[in-house]
Amino acid sequence: MGRYLVTGGAGYVGSHVVLALLDRGDEVVVLDNLRQGHRCAVMTGAELVVGDLAERAVVREVLAGWRFDGILHFAALSLVGESMREPLRYIAENVGNTLWLAEEAVKAGVMRFVLSSTAALFGMPQRVPIDEDESKDPVSAYGESKLMAERGLEWADRCLGLRSAALRYFNAAGADPGGRLGEDHDPETHLIPNAVNAVLGLGPPLTIFGTDYDTPDGTAIRDYVHVSDLADAHLRVLDRLKDGPSCRYNVGSGTGASVLEVIAAVERAAGRPVPHVLGPRREGDPAVLVASNARLRRDTGWAPKLGALDDIVGTAYAWRARNPKGYRGTMAEAVA
C-alpha cells in the first residue's frame, strides 16, 4: 500500500478515486480549495488540506510534510462553455498549475503522476470508436489546455524522468454504488444528473439539444462510463507506472447511448416521465462520440463492472433521491 496526494479530491471524480484508494488500504492526502469540491465528499480516513494549487508555498508544505508514492491531479477548470469566454484563464490555470505541480513533484522525489484529462482534446474526431491515435484538434480552450498539459508532462518524462499517465474521460456518470458519494456540480452541465434533477422536481425540464442527428433516434450518442469504473482505471494506471512507461488512455464504456435512451433509463429508475423540451443543436456537438478502450484493457486488465446504462443511471438516481440538496446544506459544508 502507498500514500498518495490527490489534488481536487473533493470534486466528483477525485472524491471517488480517493474512496477507491482508501478502500484498498492506501493513505490519502487531499488538496482542494473547495471552490467546486465539497468538504463532505472527502471520506473519513483521508487528510484534507484546504488550499489552492496556485499557492506554491502550500503545495511545497504538503509535499514536504508527507512522503508520497504518487500524485493524482484532478484540480482544474472544466467547463467547456466558460473556457470559450475565458480562454486565457483556462490555459494559464490548467496548464500552468499542472506543470509546476509536476516540477515540484520531481523536486520532492515523487516520480509517478496521473493526470485527469479529457476526450475534449480530440475535437471533432473522424473515426468512431475513438482510439488514442485519433488526431488531437481541440475545439475549446478547455480541450486545448488539457492537450497542452499532456504535452508538458511528456517533456517532464523525457527530461526529468517523471512517469505520467493521462486518462481521457468521455462522460463520467453515476455514483458510488454504496451510496457514499455522488455528483453535485453548480452549475450542473451533465445530461444524466440534469435528467435526474428534472424527474425529481429539483431542476427545470431537461432540454434535448437536437433531434435531427444522423442517429437511430435523431439524438446525439455519447459514451458513459461509471465513475467507480473510472476510479478503478486510475488505480490501475497508477500501479502500472511503478515499473512501466508513461502512458495515455481513452476511458469509456466502449458503447454509446443516445439522449432519448438516457431519458428512458432515468424514467425506468424513477418510475415516471422525465419532463423535457426540445431545443436546437448546440454548435460544435458531434452526432456520435464513443471511446475505444482496447488499449486500457490490454495494458491493465481494466473492464467496466458497471457498464450497463441502467446501472449508471440507477446509482445516480438513487444518490440524488436520498440527497436532494446534494452535499450542500449539511453542517460540514456550512462551516467550510
205: helix, coil or strand? coil
**What is the distance between the alpha carbons of residues 128 and 140, in angstroms, rounded to a whole number?**
20
192-195's contacts with Cβ under 8 Å and 24+ in sequence apart are 192/224, 192/262, 192/266, 192/312, 192/313, 192/316, 193/316, 193/320, 195/262, 195/263, 195/266, 195/274, 195/276
Strands (E), 188-275: 206-209, 221-222, 224-226, 247-251, 257-258
Element (H, E) at 1: none
Rounded to whole angstroms, what are the CA distances from 246 to 34, 240, 241, 305? 30, 9, 7, 25
The residues annotated with a catalytic role in the active site are 142
C-beta of residue 51 within 8 angstroms of C-beta of residue 33: yes
Kindly state the cell numbers that stand for 134: 485519433
**What is the distance between the alpha carbons of residues 18 and 20, in angstroms, rounded to a whole number?**
5
Question: Between helices 56-65 and 96-107, what is the axis angle to 10°?
Answer: 30
Kindly state the cell numbers that stand for 2: 502507498
3-state SS string for 72-97: EECCCCCCHHHHHHCHHHHHHHHHHH
CA dihedral 86, 87, 92, 95 (to 10 degrees): 130
Rounded to whole angstroms, what are the CA distances from 9 to 29, 53, 79, 169, 276? 9, 12, 18, 16, 33
Q: What is the maximum alpha-carbon separation in the chain?
A: 57
